[in-house]
Structure 1
Amino acid sequence: MTKLVVLALAVWLGVGVLIAQSEDSIKAKNLKEVMVDATYNSADAKGLEFIPSGKQKNSAQNGIDLLRRMAIPQLKISLSDDKVTTPAGEPVAIFINYIAASAQELEGLKTTDVRRVDYFFSPTDQRFMGERNVVNIIVQAYQYGGYTKASFYEKFLTGLSNSASLYSKFSYKKMTYDMYVGTANVNTRHQGTSVADYFRLPQTDGSVMNIQRLQTLRQSKYAYNSLPVSFRAAYSDDNFQTKNTFGFVFQETPHNNSTGSLTFLPSAANKYEYSTHADSRVRAWSYNGSFNFSFPNQYTLFFTPAFHYSRINQNSAYTASAMQQPVINNAKETSYDASFFAMGRKIFSNVHYLFLRGFGGYDHHNVTYGGNVPSLDKIIERYCGMSVQYGYYSNKISANLLFGVRNEHNSVNNNTLKTFYPFVNANFGWAPDSKNMLNISFSYSKEPMNANLKSPNVLQQNELMYYTGNPMLKNAPNIMANISYNWTPVAWLQIAPFAQYYSCFNREIPVYTPYMDATAVIRKYENNGDHYRTQLGISLTAYLFNKNLQIQLAPEQMFYRSTGYYDLSCTPFLFSGAVTYYLNDFYFSGYYETRSRALWTNSGTFYTGKSQLQIIAGWAKSDLNIRIGISNPFRKSWISATSSFDTPVYSQRSLRFDTTSHCSISLSATYTFGYGKKLSRNNEVGEQGGAASSILK
């Protein structure tokens, strides 16, 4: 409570000072400059419109970098992995000119061609496929021509870590062709985990045997290589648009090895050694299509088919001097999935919208396990559903209500589970003027789960731990409610408070029980207990000195509560901030995030990540952008995160080692050159993923 009071006072005082300061600063500006700044951010009941400045576009090296530099209050972008979410952590779907964009497509984006960025709450356009939070990047289109963009990134002081990509686009009349090829390589000796396990094994005489297992990492080697290739052809006229993307990706992890010491307490002999050796290889092919039809009388139809095929080889071996033979778990998987999404829309009187959606899919996984426990898993998942939605959309008020049903038919080795459930989404928006916007949303659905949680096979992890899945797991129902407000009191200041409530009921969680006559422990997933999360926060963004200085502050307070098998709670306080300064063709930025703390939804794990500090300096002119950065300059430790959980039979404390929180220096560059008379720079193609894996982990 004290933190909330301090937060409220700080925000109140800060806003008062900034608005008071604005009265003098606005007087000093001429009328033309005020008009330009006022168009930077405007709101209506459907969402928000942001116009990036020339400095922001020139200094950005890709699409995600542009969103970060624009400091949009409705977005939160992680420093460690560039993941884009709402401030409350909900996923955000990113589109480029109304076409869903992958991370690689955003990497190839020519940011100087961006004209505006729209943020929508439950948008009306059928091409957004019913997504709830949408960013749509509008890029200027040309009649014909093309361009090629090369990107390069290298990270120092943490081992080998680099990536490079080449993207090319060519347009002629109504056709557009895209080609993307990329590569990513990692080779480091600073990745692994140290684990302290605590076993409490009940004995037949009523006593409890307490065993501590301490696995301490000493050396490791991790290597990863990826090669994605994709091609897309698109056609567009006034009443019909289609885009078809074909992709292939090769990924391999030739080394994921570690060695260290192993101690058991109490024990007379404590000097054991262990080693782990793992490797994997993935080949994935994919097709993603979209077809948009426009008919007379404001009827539209949108259809998206997709198909993915993957082959995965995965090997792992655990060896310890305390064991007579190693634990070997090898797996080969062949999987494919096909799905479709269709959405029709009819507009009445320009403000009344009626939507009808249908969807379905088929997933098939064949997994062959070798090693100590040879077995075979055959997992088939079928699903289909439909929904109907009514919406009222005007400039000042928007409201919509969606009701749908989903049917699932899943089987694991002839064990069948059928599920039928409804889902509901509701959204209300109010914008009395272009500087104020309120949005309230509510949803009810069921959480999907990974197919690997349903495997009935029992595999061994180490001397005392085994694990298995549960074919009878059920999807957990959940409720989510959001409220957010966007206020632009003056042209150079944005204030965006928000709150979210989330609850998940009878979720699937890992349960630990004695195994093999109480000589070991087995982990199995069961439906048990509820998870509750409440989040309060605010984002403050200021653009000063003719937008040469940009400051963003975002504090937030979390409240976690878990019931059932894991009965616990926590209330972490989080903060992130960013500062950017532009000086002619040079730019300088600093980003900071406090350590992350969370209680995981589907377990009782407390997770704590390290704080992140990043400082960058760059130069951008014309189509060349060069940047150097330093991350966490004062940190020598390789520990990136800690986690812990407790159960009646088993508890764990772990230290995660990797390069994400260690001091590092990065160098990146992008160069774009165009050809032809007029360019068409939009909807860059990128890496396409394969089918999801069902290998038990």
Structure 2
Amino acid sequence: MYDRLTTYRIGPGLGYSFSKKKYYIYLGVGYNYDHSKYRQTIEHSTQPWADASVQYSFNNKNYISAVFHYMTSVPLSSYRSEAVVQSNPLMSYTGNPALKPYKSFDYGITYTCIPNKIISFSVYATAWSVRDRYAFVYTPSSTGILRTIEQPMGGFTSLTTGAYGRVRLLQNRLQIAGQIAVPFCHNGEPFNSDQIDVNYSLQAYWYFGAWNIGIQYFSDKSAPGSAVNGLWTKYRKTYSLSIGWGNSSWNVLAQITNPFTWNWKNSSNEMNSRYFDRKQFGYGVDSHCYIKLGVSYVFGFGKHVKQNNEASRQRGAGSAILE
């Protein structure tokens, strides 16, 4: 393809944070200026972005926090190309030069409780919603299936609720942590699907002298793809046992993962639409049995290192978008 598309974005903004006793508040607002040139067509647009986060401490054992982000996402150059790409004998791709930036919202709330030095836990809900989105549309053609991109399509919302907890016993020598999460995804036209899953994990570590033993278990889990592709991805469970030894200089670790699993398949991607369904499988070592051995040596451990005013990166607008 010899399409030529150039895009750039400038996003100036202002941020303000306020902290007083039990409150912490951050607010940020600004504008994104987008410029794009596709062949002989030049487009300009401005879209606002906004960040907000609030934390309130009821006391030194309980606090609640909430976040909100709003921004627009510029279409990838390949999504706007009019060229028709023959992917395989039955599938062709093409883009849509009329695509516009779509609006996305990230928002969430978390409650954390630390009643004592032994127990701590959090419950949370986070979501990502898209408006005026563009998405892949599969239609029959004389040569097979043609994948185009249309806008606006049905709404998209990805929501995850869950809880996380940690227990420290035997003067912190035994530490146990667990998490449960419930991801849900509403994916409107053209995929018209609602997906939900429950996954959980458990980790325990026992420390005695210079030694430690750990066990980990992560259940099967699922997650949505991007708002464009309509995918629902599933990952297989993993579990492991580790033993380690260390001092101020040396650290030695031996770990066996998935000792009773000998299948190389570790994930699957599934998508359903009116004229075309797709299912892919991923293969690798993640869910297959393997043994890991590691040895490290630390030079200069415990020495004080002076740091002076290193530059730090500030985020203007956040998003959960992965494409």
Per the alignment, residue 102 of structure 2 pairs with 476
Per the alignment, residue 488 of structure 1 pairs with 114
TM-score (ref. length: structure 2)? 0.87
Of residues 560, 565, 575, the one that matches 2:200 is 575
Aligned partners of 2:158 and 2:224 also within 8 Å: no
Residues 254-265 of structure 1 aligned to structure 2 (within 5 Å): none
Give the letter for the 1:537 counterpart.
Answer: G
Cα distance in 2 for partners of 1:448, 1:669 equals: 45
Partner of 1:461, secondary structure, is strand
Shift in alpha-carbon separation, 1:575–1:508, aligned structure 2, 3 A? same
Give the letter for the 2:146 counterpart.
Answer: I
Aligned partners of 1:402 and 1:425 also within 8 Å: yes
Give the letter for the 2:130 counterpart.
Answer: C
Per the alignment, residue 216 of structure 2 pairs with 591
Per the alignment, residue 460 of structure 1 pairs with 86
Cα distance in 1 for partners of 2:234, 2:8 equals: 37
Cα distance in 1 for partners of 2:199, 2:222 equals: 8
Aligned partners of 2:190 and 2:274 also within 8 Å: no
Residues 236-247 of structure 1 aligned to structure 2 (within 5 Å): none
Give the letter for the 1:521 counterpart.
Answer: I
CA-to-aligned-CA distance 1:552-587 (integer Å, 9 cap, x gap): 111122222111111110121111111111121111
Q: CA deviation at 1:682?
A: 6.8
Please say which structure displays the higher CA radius of gyration: 1
Cα distance in 1 for partners of 2:16, 2:306 equals: 35
Cα distance in 2 for partners of 1:558, 1:468 equals: 32
Q: CA deviation at 1:389?
A: 2.9
Residue 264 (structure 2) pairs with residue 631 (structure 1): no
CA-to-aligned-CA distance 1:471-505 (integer Å, 9 cap, x gap): 33222212222111111111111011111232111
Cα distance in 2 for partners of 1:546, 1:630 equals: 27
Partner of 1:474, secondary structure, is coil
Give the letter for the 1:555 counterpart.
Answer: I
Shift in alpha-carbon separation, 1:660–1:393, aligned structure 2, 3 A? same
Of residues 288, 294, 309, the one that matches 1:668 is 294
Per the alignment, residue 499 of structure 1 pairs with 125
Residue 23 (structure 2) pairs with residue 397 (structure 1): yes
Residues 268-279 of structure 1 aligned to structure 2 (within 5 Å): none
Shift in alpha-carbon separation, 1:462–1:394, aligned structure 2, 3 A? same
Per the alignment, residue 521 of structure 1 pairs with 145
Per the alignment, residue 313 of structure 2 pairs with none
TM-score (ref. length: structure 1)? 0.42
Give the letter for the 1:526 counterpart.
Answer: E
Of residues 417, 423, 430, the one that matches 2:49 is 423
Q: CA deviation at 1:388?
A: 2.2
Residue 190 (structure 2) pairs with residue 565 (structure 1): yes
Cα distance in 1 for partners of 2:134, 2:115 equals: 45
Per the alignment, residue 606 of structure 1 pairs with 232
**666-675 or 651-660, which deviates more:** 666-675
Of residues 617, 640, 643, the one that matches 2:269 is 643
CA-to-aligned-CA distance 1:325-378 (integer Å, 9 cap, x gap): xxxxxxxxxxxxxxxxxxxxxxxxxxxxxxxxxxxxxxxxxxxxxxxxxx3243
Partner of 2:58, secondary structure, is strand
Aligned partners of 1:415 and 1:471 also within 8 Å: no
Aligned partners of 1:639 and 1:656 also within 8 Å: yes
Q: CA deviation at 1:448?
A: 4.5
Shift in alpha-carbon separation, 1:453–1:668, aligned structure 2, 3 A? farther
RMSD: 2.4
CA-to-aligned-CA distance 1:495-545 (integer Å, 9 cap, x gap): 111112321112232111233xx2221222223221112222111101111
CA-to-aligned-CA distance 1:444-473 (integer Å, 9 cap, x gap): 212355433333332222111112333332
Cα distance in 2 for partners of 1:503, 1:571 equals: 16
Matched-pair identity in %: 23
User: Which blocks of at least 5 consecutive residues in structure 1 are unaligned?
Assistant: 1-374, 685-696
Give the letter for the 1:474 counterpart.
Answer: K
Give the letter for the 1:571 counterpart.
Answer: I
Runs of 4+ in 1 over 6 A off after TM superposition: 681-684
Say which structure, 1 or 2, has more relative contact order (CA 8 Å, 6+ apart).
1
Count of paired positions = 308
Partner of 1:433, secondary structure, is coil
Partner of 1:452, secondary structure, is helix
Aligned partners of 1:562 and 1:604 also within 8 Å: yes
Cα distance in 2 for partners of 1:550, 1:531 equals: 39
Partner of 1:660, secondary structure, is coil
Of residues 413, 417, 438, the one that matches 2:64 is 438
Give the letter for the 1:378 counterpart.
Answer: R
CA-to-aligned-CA distance 1:8-40 (integer Å, 9 cap, x gap): xxxxxxxxxxxxxxxxxxxxxxxxxxxxxxxxx
Cα distance in 2 for partners of 1:495, 1:600 equals: 29
Residues 223-372 of structure 1 aligned to structure 2 (within 5 Å): none
Residue 169 (structure 2) pairs with residue 544 (structure 1): yes
Aligned partners of 1:417 and 1:472 also within 8 Å: no
Cα distance in 2 for partners of 1:461, 1:654 equals: 16
Cα distance in 2 for partners of 1:640, 1:404 equals: 42
Shift in alpha-carbon separation, 1:545–1:401, aligned structure 2, 3 A? same
Aligned partners of 2:75 and 2:99 also within 8 Å: no
Cα distance in 2 for partners of 1:414, 1:629 equals: 59
Aligned partners of 2:268 and 2:280 also within 8 Å: yes
Residues 51-90 of structure 1 aligned to structure 2 (within 5 Å): none
Cα distance in 2 for partners of 1:659, 1:419 equals: 46
Q: CA deviation at 1:425?
A: 1.8
Aligned partners of 1:531 and 1:601 also within 8 Å: no
Partner of 1:456, secondary structure, is coil
Cα distance in 1 for partners of 2:80, 2:106 equals: 26
User: Which blocks of at least 5 consecutive residues in structure 2 are unaligned?
Assistant: 311-322
